[in-house]
Amino acid sequence: MSMYEDADAQSIEDRIEAELSQFAKDEAEKLGLLREQWVEPINQHFTRSQRDTTTMLVSGLTVAHDTLVCAAFSSLGYTVEKMDAPDNASLQFGKEFGNRAQCNPTYYTVGNLVKHLVHLRDDQGMATADIIEKYLFITAGACGPCRFGTYVTEYRKALRDAGFDGFRVMLFQQQGGLKQATGEELGLEVNQEFLIAIVKAMLAGDVLNLMGYRLRPYELQEGATNKAISECHQIMVDTFAQGKSPARGLWKCRKVLKQIKVDRSQPKPLVSIIGEFWAMTTESEGNYELQKFLESEGAEVDIQPIVNWILFIVWENSYDTKQRMVLREDDVESKKGLKTGTAGATKKLWLLRGADKAIRGLFQTYAHAVGLYGYHLPDMDEVAELAAPYYDNNVRGGEAHMEVGKLIHFVEDKVNHMTVSVKPFGCMPSSGVSDGVQSIITGKWPEAIFLPIETTGDGKVNVYSRIQMMLFKARIKAKNEFERALEESGMDEDTFKQRLGKSKWNRHPFWRPEHKEAGIATNLVYAVS
């Protein structure tokens, strides 16, 4: 304090404040907190003249969907490249260049894009300017009570910080179509041909995935299903390239999958995966490769196909239109009234009803072509009605009421032995709302085996141990169900296997017995008794 001894009190206080301010400024500068406020840039446009020199990068769904979407784009004349599935290296890139407290899928998908571009620059020797000029990325977005709406901004912020400022990111909005970041119309021709091609690719990817999960747990030769599915991917790529009907390609896939030998005589727990869209869909380290792990533990996995989400969007539009029909036509300024009045709303409802039927019809056509028998798409009105007493249908974001309604449906209709709900850590719609409601459901239906899982990218061992504990209960449930069926049918296990060996049910991997219980082995007992 010697330097302040001759100064008055006010002067000492001023000097201390000045030194503290300078210290705070110096520390903030060290931490990079004094940078100018970031403003989302206006990206270059993708025009028709750039089509021949621009490669569109696609990633984010399953291997089947990414592969077939790329094939669909290629068939329309675009140059497309499928990126690898996000892994934990992608996560590290995402955390290095992304903001804090983001949704876990953001880190994986943003980091995966940055990782790919860094590979092009550092490993393949491409100049940064060439990468920005010759590549673009297509992603999805939304709005509402979910961090999904910030994804595209996170992409651009991370790309800037990684040295790829100006890289083009195109946003496909769940409500509003495909747009540039600026809100202007995209250079892609988003016409009827484009939309139909993408829907066909999605549905074809769905049925191939569902066939894989149906056959893989019961294959006699390990790896046979994966080999056959990979062959099917190539068949479908060729089908799209030749401009042929996907149904014809799936019929060829049917012949490949038919060669897989299966044994479905042993009871296995059937586990349904629900939750946040990306977390439950991805087959990557982004959800701890959950599907693969469950199969390695002897379970059959029931996945939620992409078509369910498409049907939910159609239902959502229909539901909201019905709600808005009671409003005045002149209430359009609030964006709640209908511009065309009741007559326009009725027309819209008919169009949505037609879209729902068309999607379901096309899905079943593809399913039957590939040999996916007995698979029923959910009735979205029924799911909403089941959830309504516990979860308001007007509350949106994430999977909304579907998580609640599906769990009730799974229990009441004996769809599975166990349900895993997977979502990103801190997911507001799922962790903050749906999971809270599920405690009421499991209290009312105590026979339900329900396990919520939050993904962070770490804690893999802890997640697996929690699954194993609940899966133990599901195994017992499946075994008890199987033994009860044997007792009711007056057979022992040896007699059942003898009868099964002589029946059509075991000669063909596609045949499905009538559904009575969750397990396929149990239903086979009733079929051959």
Q: Which helix (H) or strand (E) holds 382?
A: helix 380-387
- At 172, is the pLDDT very low, low, confident or very high (cuts 50, 70, 90)? low
The residue ranking higher by pLDDT, 411 or 341, is: 411
Two tokens, residue 526: 């009733």
3 state SS of 526? helix
Q: Give the model's pLDDT for residue 183.
A: 38
Q: In angstroms, rounded to a whole number, what is the distance separating the alpha carbons of residues 296 and 421? A: 19
Q: In angstroms, rounded to a whole number, what is the distance separating the alpha carbons of residues 387 and 373? A: 28
Contact 151, 109 (CB under 8 A): yes
Strongest mean pLDDT among 162-166, 393-397, 448-452: 448-452
pLDDT digits (tens, 9 = 90+) for 43-60: 557 777 788 889 999 988
Using alpha carbons, list the distances in angstroms from residue 222 to 219, 270, 339: 6, 19, 58
- At 3, is the pLDDT very low, low, confident or very high (cuts 50, 70, 90)? low
Q: In angstroms, rounded to a whole number, what is the distance separating the alpha carbons of residues 529 and 524? A: 8
Two tokens, residue 211: 């066939």
Token pair 């049925």 is found at 207
First vs last Cα of the chain: how many Å apart? Answer: 96
Please choose, from the candidates 228, 227, 224, 232, the residue with its C-alpha nearest in 3D space to the C-alpha of residue 250. Answer: 232
The total number of residues written for the chain in this structure = 529
Token pair 């080999």 is found at 227
Using CB atoms within 10 Å of the CB of residue 163, give its burial: 0 to 12 exposed, 13 to 18 middle, 19+ buried.
Answer: middle
Using CB atoms within 10 Å of the CB of residue 301, give its burial: 0 to 12 exposed, 13 to 18 middle, 19+ buried.
Answer: buried
270-275 vs 177-179, strand pairing mode = unpaired
Contact 283, 432 (CB under 8 A): no
3 state SS of 15? helix
Q: Which helix (H) or strand (E) holds 171?
A: strand 168-173
The pLDDT of residue 300 is above 90: yes
- At 98, is the pLDDT very low, low, confident or very high (cuts 50, 70, 90)? confident
CA 329 to chain CA centroid, Å, is: 37
The pLDDT of residue 401 is above 80: yes
Lowest mean pLDDT segment, chosen from 74-83, 101-110, 210-219, 326-335: 326-335
Radius of gyration of the chain (CA): 27
3 state SS of 378? coil
| Average pLDDT of the segment spanning 381-404 | 88
Q: In angstroms, rounded to a whole number, what is the distance separating the alpha carbons of residues 378 and 388? A: 16
> What is the value of pTM for the model shown?
0.86
Q: Give the model's pLDDT for residue 186.
A: 57
Please choose, from the candidates 212, 245, 248, the residue with its C-alpha nearest in 3D space to the C-alpha of residue 72. Answer: 245
The residue ranking higher by pLDDT, 472 or 45, is: 472
Contact 522, 419 (CB under 8 A): no
- At 180, is the pLDDT very low, low, confident or very high (cuts 50, 70, 90)? very low
Two tokens, residue 260: 């897989």
Q: In angstroms, rounded to a whole number, what is the distance separating the alpha carbons of residues 13 and 91? A: 48
Token pair 């897989």 is found at 260
- At 182, is the pLDDT very low, low, confident or very high (cuts 50, 70, 90)? very low
Sign, CA torsion 106/107/109/114:
positive
Q: Give the model's pLDDT for residue 35.
A: 56
Two tokens, residue 350: 């008919």
pLDDT digits (tens, 9 = 90+) for 250-282: 999 999 999 999 999 999 999 999 988 888 999
Using alpha carbons, list the distances in angstroms from residue 216 to 226, 229, 264, 297: 8, 10, 11, 13
**Helical residues (DSSP H) of 261-373, grouped into ranges:** 277-281, 290-296, 306-324, 341-370
Q: In angstroms, rounded to a whole number, what is the distance separating the alpha carbons of residues 136 and 53? A: 11
3 state SS of 349? helix
